[in-house]
Structure 1
Amino acid sequence: MVRTGVSILGWALLAAGVLAAAVLLVLRQVTEVHTWHHLLIAAATFIPLLWIPVLVGCLGLILVLRGRWRLLGAVVLIASMVPFAWPLRPLPERSDAPVAVGSALSVLSLNLQYGDADLEEVIGLATDEVDVLALQEYTPAFEAELEASGLLEQFPHRAGEARAGAAGSVLLSRTPLELIAQTEDTVFANLIASTAVEGTVWHLGVIHTAPPQMGADVWLHDATAVQEMAAPYLTENLLLIGDFNAIDRHDTMLRLTADGDLEDLAARHPGEGLPWHPTWPVGSVLPPFARIDHALVSDTVVGGTPRFESITGTDHKAVHVEVSEELHR
């Protein structure tokens, strides 16, 4: 009876693990599938967790096998985990690392979740070293709170505007801003503005694309609009930062970075450890498992790995990056 129960559990784990792993493998390899349906977009969010169903399936195999055959199951388990552990090994520093020149630019990005993010915590992150705030879901009520706090006096220059609900996006800067591009017919506001910091001209984009639950067509449309908006500025000092509503493995993000014109600063760099920095959801019953907030830079920009901070009142982590102009690679 005990053996029968173990076998049933083993077959259940094996079947569930193999099925889930197969689905995630297809979603990882054939990314066009993401654009078919919003549930496929949601499922693809779990691609970085592919190791979990593989582990479950291998454990099920061990329970199903008997006697010495279980040793084979253990070998399969170890062999299956190697591809997931191998990329996490320490890497040597590159000898051809980019050399930064000119002034540095510090940008803090946050999705305010309908303007409900804790004002004091946001002010605490907006230190003197921060040059620009890139805020999504920027509402009139939150703007009034910022004005009352005096923070807008420190960031007197603006591109974008407050809007009701989740539609508002804004860049708040210590230096003058000039709005140079914005998307049309997107669910939320997406825009690019230029500014000069100590003689270096920057093109900054605050991004907030449609979430999958609004439909795969809308999700793809908004991401495509952002790509088209950014295209004329890929040879400039360009930083796109914000809530892309997609992980780096999603079809839309891969399209943005496929040609090498844009680099994800949170992608793994030589000498770094774990590359997975989930930014959503924060403050829910589930721990953060998806990195949908990104900082993308053009080939003329170099930057370190972003810092991520949790803020009360919003389901996104804040993203803080520092970038500078690149001399060579």
Structure 2
Amino acid sequence: MPERRRWASWSVAVLLAVWAVVRLTGFELGWFLTQLMTLTPYGAVLALSAAALLAFRNRPAALVALGAAVAMLAAVLPRVFAGTAPEGGASLRVLTLNLFGRADSAEVVRLIDRHDVDVFTALELTPGQVSALKAAGLERRLPYQVLEASEGPTGSGVYARFPLTRINGLFTVIGHNMPAARVAAPPGAVEVVAVHPNPPLPRLYGEWNASLAALPAARPGVRRILAGDFNAGLDHRAFRDLLGKGYRDAAAQAGQGLTPTWPSGRAIPPIITIDHILVDASIGVRGVEVSDVPGTDHRAVFADLRLG
């Protein structure tokens, strides 16, 4: 094999191996590696393809690429296998959506009606969007609200069918507004947080890490749901650390953990999964559905939950 082709083969294999090691160890130093981790499901496919191509040119390099593929697939594939759905428990139907400040309000309300939603967390909620949702009839379905609307991307809110009580001081809010509320659901109270940290861009990377780390841990005797645009996915160490505080990703529990949620409504299809509904161990997941909504660059995530 010509030296240049051998060098190229090993470069590809080693880079894929480094990607796999960073994913497995969580050794994400800086924003670039963090952004790269978002694409790990595609990295697994790339590594598998590279292993197949290199098998006829450089067998040792092919084995390295295959090892990287196996490592990444081991991290990614469990998300497509649904766990055991709970048989009993009271239903709580939750929807989360980053409205982008200009989502089609009538479509949002139709989606809430279709899923018979009990709790809705709205991100990038502007005062204008609050008015538009009200005009579209949202308050007839979800009359209770704890809102922190704001111009730009910082606003968020919680809407519910049942009475809400604002929770102050549950955690240190870093980044966008992230209101927390106690929902007086019929089987017992549930705490809900509308989550929306800033994205892990170069100048915001440290803040993104701190924001996810500041979110509250699950607590025995307290039902809690974190729902929103986390600007993070299951391949980020910071997000896995949050799950380690006692939460499960509803979509992964339902076998929908690889369903992408961003971007939506653009020339390219959705490619990454950064919108989530997290639940503590006392809450079961019956099903999850991801839907497009006109006017926003995020997809809506709905979860049919069961309260134990």
Specify the TM-score bucket, using the shorter chain as the normaliser: 0.7 to 0.9
Aligned residues: 303
Matched, 1:24 2:19: yes
Secondary structure of the residue that 2:135 maps to in structure 1? helix
In structure 2, the gaps of 5 or more residues are none
Change (3 A) 1:15 1:104: same
Matched, 1:302 2:284: yes
Q: Distance in 2 between matches of 1:131 and 1:245?
A: 24
Q: Distance in 1 between matches of 2:151 and 2:7?
A: 51
Change (3 A) 1:314 1:17: farther
Q: Distance in 1 between matches of 2:164 and 2:79?
A: 42
Q: Which residue of 1 aligns with 2:211?
A: 222
Q: Distance in 1 between matches of 2:172 and 2:64?
A: 51
Matched, 1:312 2:301: no
Q: Which residue of 2 aligns with 1:197?
A: 185
Query: Which residues of 2 match residues 1-329 of structure 1 at below 5 A?
Result: 12=8, 14-15=9-10, 17-31=12-26, 33-34=27-28, 36-64=29-57, 84=73, 87=77, 98-101=86-89, 103-113=90-100, 115-127=101-113, 129-181=116-168, 183-213=171-201, 214-226=203-215, 230-231=216-217, 233=219, 235-259=221-245, 261-268=246-253, 272=255, 275-326=257-308
Share of identical aligned residues, percent? Answer: 29
Whether the 8 Å CA contact 1:18–1:53 is kept in 2: the answer is no
Q: Which amino acid in 1 is paired with 2:242?
A: L
Secondary structure of the residue that 1:284 maps to in structure 2? coil
Whether the 8 Å CA contact 2:231–2:275 is kept in 1: the answer is yes
Whether the 8 Å CA contact 1:134–1:170 is kept in 2: the answer is yes
Change (3 A) 1:147 1:241: same
Q: Distance in 2 between matches of 1:38 and 1:194?
A: 34
Q: Distance in 2 between matches of 1:99 and 1:267?
A: 18
Q: Which amino acid in 1 is paired with 2:235?
A: R
In structure 1, the gaps of 5 or more residues are none
Q: Distance in 2 between matches of 1:22 and 1:74?
A: 11
**CA deviation profile, 1:63-89 (whole Å, cap 9, x unmatched):** 535xxx8xx999998888667399479
Q: Which amino acid in 1 is paired with 2:178?
A: N
1:162 Cα shift? 1.0
Which is higher, the Rg of structure 1 or of structure 2? 1
Q: Distance in 2 between matches of 1:89 and 1:207?
A: 22
Change (3 A) 1:215 1:19: farther
Q: Distance in 1 between matches of 2:81 and 2:207?
A: 39
Secondary structure of the residue that 2:54 maps to in structure 1? helix
Whether the 8 Å CA contact 1:203–1:233 is kept in 2: the answer is no
TM-score under structure 2 length normalisation = 0.85
Q: Which amino acid in 1 is paired with 2:48?
A: L
1:92 Cα shift? 9.9
Q: Which amino acid in 2 is paired with 1:277?
A: T
Whether the 8 Å CA contact 1:234–1:298 is kept in 2: the answer is no
**CA deviation profile, 1:93-119 (whole Å, cap 9, x unmatched):** 86xx64532x21111110011x11122
Q: Which amino acid in 2 is paired with 1:119?
A: S
1:30 Cα shift? 2.3
Change (3 A) 1:38 1:91: closer
Secondary structure of the residue that 1:252 maps to in structure 2? helix
1:278 Cα shift? 1.3
Whether the 8 Å CA contact 1:235–1:298 is kept in 2: the answer is no
